[in-house]
């Protein structure tokens, strides 16, 4: 017997040289396939088995559970709502075998009448983990927590095992609580992933060693926008996406046709929490307090910027999943994080060049820099989702996310330099030449605010041997860097002019004391009044990213005797617009301006860099 799919292949190869006839043959052959008379005859005499697979103890429907019709090569996998369907089943007594990683394999015997659809829901548990039947199991606190983690691990392992490509799948709670809900802090634990940090935050992801611009980020397969932060590349930055809304994280490491063309390194996909994934409501929440090891007090202290704030700050996230009925459910998630952090370090500079007064065997300490990098990061996110089944064959999923980001960094660098050819030096001391030194303040202040909106509608249609999936998505992200309108310059040049600089009590990492003199008078470099301002710079930046996308996949399954096969066609549309505007304004002072007119606060007595800001009022 010559089946239509075979006829299609023969026709295509036989007429490959006839380019004009090729499209006609292709369309005609596809019509034969989708109107297979043999399949229609078999369908009228055969039956269908369908249902859902559930873990009754956790209330989760199981995705990618393998349902096998024993004695045949027929095998299907459940979808994200736990649903499965076996069509063209020979009537009579059959046995279903259901497998899911970490749970006990189930076998179910069924009587299947001819020409009917039989509904069989299946429950799967683990006897070793949960006990058998109605037995009472006493669990201490440790065991309960371990069970939750094992359930999450089983879900991820099963997803990864049956993925069509090389993929890592991890449940969102696999690594416990994630600070600030930052996705980057989560995925950094996965193999092949490294994270680039900016201002102390996980910013971008490097997958398999390729640049971040080659690793797109999607939500349920729909592209999410990410406004450019400090450059013109297409890299995705994690600052405006929260893991609070995600049930699982997928990292694909190999190219497949359904991935965007820029997925050379791979892709990161966040699977949203869905009401249809559960049988009963679930409300979870978490409150937390974040602080640094150096700032444990609840009292207000200077900074960041010109204000005094508390460095120990509270946060909250929550998630509510509500399956209202078998045909409707919704989810609500939210997160608020307010975190203060700082990086502080010092850097000595040793002079070895003979022309500058040093030598390889006897260098001297020429420069010393103190750097203080306080930052304040506020994140907010809200997620709304709804699942609706208007009729049995169609499932619609709506997903909306809003993320807001507000970052303030107040970097200040205080640099001392004795100049070349000091008058004297040894292992413990350096005395610079008269008026040959320098003491400079180099601030770098940034106020970065932005938000991202994400909206998606997805649909799954299942009717008989037909399957159709579609998605429509729209996402818009924007980021603004401000300085003057927020009350300060982005950067500036501030110094003590032509001082004499000396160090004493030098160790391998820092001098014990720094002296600065002007003429014969000792100058207090901690006093801001002793500095003058030479210039200030403003650097406003506006960035935006906008993505509109759509996708449609159509699939029909066939069975030619004991040989099952399927034909699938699909299309994808994606339009992305990125824009970045930057201006630079430099203000040079024609006469020296006392720093007390511009600067707010001086350097601390313990030689840490102080909280300083150039105020716009000084222009």
Which of the four pLDDT bands, split at 50, 70 and 90, describes residue 161?
A: low
**Residue 134's pLDDT is what?**
52
pLDDT in tens, 20-29: 554 454 454 4
pLDDT in tens, 292-307: 888 888 888 887 877 8
- Position 249 in a domain: no
- Position 14 in a domain: yes
Distances (CA, A) of 245 to 9, 85, 379, 408: 46, 29, 14, 25
CB within 8 Å of 120: residues ≥ 6 apart? 49, 50, 51, 96, 108, 110
Distances (CA, A) of 98 to 27, 31, 203: 39, 35, 42
pLDDT in tens, 34-60: 454 444 444 456 788 889 998 888 888
In angstroms, the CA 95 to CA 118 distance is 13
Q: Which of 198 and 333 is assigned the larger pLDDT?
A: 333
Q: What distance lies between CA 240 and its chain's CA centroid?
A: 8
Q: Per-residue pLDDT averaged across 147-158, rounded?
A: 56
Which of the four pLDDT bands, split at 50, 70 and 90, describes residue 156?
A: low
CB within 8 Å of 471: residues ≥ 6 apart? 220, 221, 222, 456, 457, 458, 459, 549, 550, 551
Give percent of the chain with pLDDT exceeding 70: 80
- Position 9 in a domain: yes
- Position 213 in a domain: no
Highest mean pLDDT among 174-183, 338-347, 445-454: 445-454
> Could you tell me the sign of the dihedral formed by the alpha carbons of 144, 149, 152, 153, in that order?
negative
In angstroms, the CA 149 to CA 597 distance is 58
> Half-sphere exposure (CA, 13 Å, Cβ side) for 348?
17
What pTM value is reported for the model? 0.76
- Position 264 in a domain: no
Distances (CA, A) of 114 to 44, 45, 83, 255: 9, 6, 22, 43
Q: Domains in the chain: how many in total? A: 2
CB within 8 Å of 176: residues ≥ 6 apart? none
**Residue 593's pLDDT is what?**
63
In angstroms, the CA 175 to CA 91 distance is 47
Is residue 547 within 8 A of residue 573, CB to CB? The reply is no
- Position 498 in a domain: yes
In angstroms, the CA 619 to CA 614 distance is 9
Range of the domain at 25: 1-35
**245 has pLDDT over 70:** yes
- E strand or H helix at 186, and its extent? helix 183-187
- Position 196 in a domain: no
Which of the four pLDDT bands, split at 50, 70 and 90, describes residue 15?
A: very low
Average pLDDT, the chain: 80
- Position 565 in a domain: yes
Q: Per-residue pLDDT averaged across 595-610, rounded?
A: 39
């Amino acid at each position: 017997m010559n089946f239509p799919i075979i006829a299609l292949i023969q026709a295509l190869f036989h007429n490959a040289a006839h380019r004009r006839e090729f499209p006609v043959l292709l369309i005609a052959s596809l019509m034969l396939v989708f109107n297979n008379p043999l399949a229609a005859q078999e369908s009228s005499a055969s039956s269908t088995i369908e249902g859902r697979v559930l873990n009754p103890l956790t209330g989760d429907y199981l995705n990618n559970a393998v349902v096998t019709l024993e004695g045949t090569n027929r095998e299907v996998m459940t979808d994200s709502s736990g649903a499965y369907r076996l069509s063209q089943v020979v009537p009579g007594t059959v046995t279903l075998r259901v497998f899911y990683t970490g749970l006990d394999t189930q076998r179910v015997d069924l009587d299947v009448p001819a020409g009917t659809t039989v509904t069989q829901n299946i429950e799967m548990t683990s006897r070793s983990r949960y006990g058998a039947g109605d037995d009472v199991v006493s669990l201490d606190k440790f065991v309960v927590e371990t069970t939750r983690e094992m359930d999450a691990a089983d879900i991820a392992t099963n997803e990864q095992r049956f993925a069509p490509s090389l993929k890592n799948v991890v449940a969102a709670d696999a690594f416990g609580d994630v600070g600030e809900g930052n996705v980057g802090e989560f995925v950094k634990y996965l193999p092949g992933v490294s994270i680039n940090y900016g201002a102390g935050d996980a910013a971008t992801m490097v997958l398999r060693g390729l640049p971040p611009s080659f690793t797109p980020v999607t939500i349920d397969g729909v592209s999410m926008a990410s406004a450019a932060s400090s450059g013109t590349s297409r890299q995705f930055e994690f600052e405006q996406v929260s893991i609070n809304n995600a049930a699982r994280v997928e990292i694909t490491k190999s190219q497949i046709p359904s991935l965007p063309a820029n997925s050379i390194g791979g892709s990161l996909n966040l699977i949203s929490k869905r009401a249809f994934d559960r049988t009963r409501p679930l409300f979870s929440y978490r409150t937390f307090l974040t602080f640094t090891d150096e700032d444990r007090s609840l009292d207000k202290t200077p900074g960041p910027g010109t204000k005094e704030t508390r460095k120990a700050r509270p946060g909250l996230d929550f998630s509510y999943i509500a399956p209202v009925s078998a045909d409707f459910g919704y989810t609500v998630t939210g997160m608020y994080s307010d975190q203060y952090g700082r990086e502080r370090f010092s850097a000595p500079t040793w002079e070895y060049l003979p022309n500058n007064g040093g030598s390889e065997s006897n260098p001297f300490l020429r420069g010393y820099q103190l750097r203080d990098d306080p930052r304040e990061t506020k994140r907010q996110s809200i997620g709304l989702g709804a699942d609706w089944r208007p009729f049995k064959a169609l499932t619609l999923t709506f997903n909306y996310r809003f993320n807001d980001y507000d970052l303030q960094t107040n970097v200040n660098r205080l640099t001392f330099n004795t100049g070349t050819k000091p008058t004297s030096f040894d292992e413990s001391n350096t005395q610079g030449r008269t008026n040959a030194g320098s003491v400079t303040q180099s601030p770098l202040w940034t106020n970065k605010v932005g938000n991202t909106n994400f909206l998606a509608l997805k649909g799954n249609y299942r009717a008989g041997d037909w399957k159709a999936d579609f998605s429509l998505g729209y996402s818009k992200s924007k980021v603004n860097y401000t300085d003057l309108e927020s009350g300060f310059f982005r950067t500036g040049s501030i110094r003590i002019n032509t001082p004499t600089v000396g160090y004493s009590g030098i160790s391998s990492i820092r001098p014990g004391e720094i002296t600065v003199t002007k003429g014969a008078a000792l100058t207090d470099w901690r006093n801001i009044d002793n500095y003058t301002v030479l210039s200030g710079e403003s650097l406003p930046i506006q960035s935006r990213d906008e993505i509109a996308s759509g996708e449609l996949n159509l699939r029909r399954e066939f069975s030619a005797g004991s040989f099952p096969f399927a034909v699938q066609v699909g299309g994808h549309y994606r339009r992305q617009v990125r824009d970045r505007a930057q201006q630079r304004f430099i203000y040079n002072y024609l006469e020296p301006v006392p720093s007390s007119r511009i600067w707010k606060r001086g350097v601390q007595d313990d030689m840490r860099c102080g909280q300083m800001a150039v105020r716009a009022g000084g222009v």
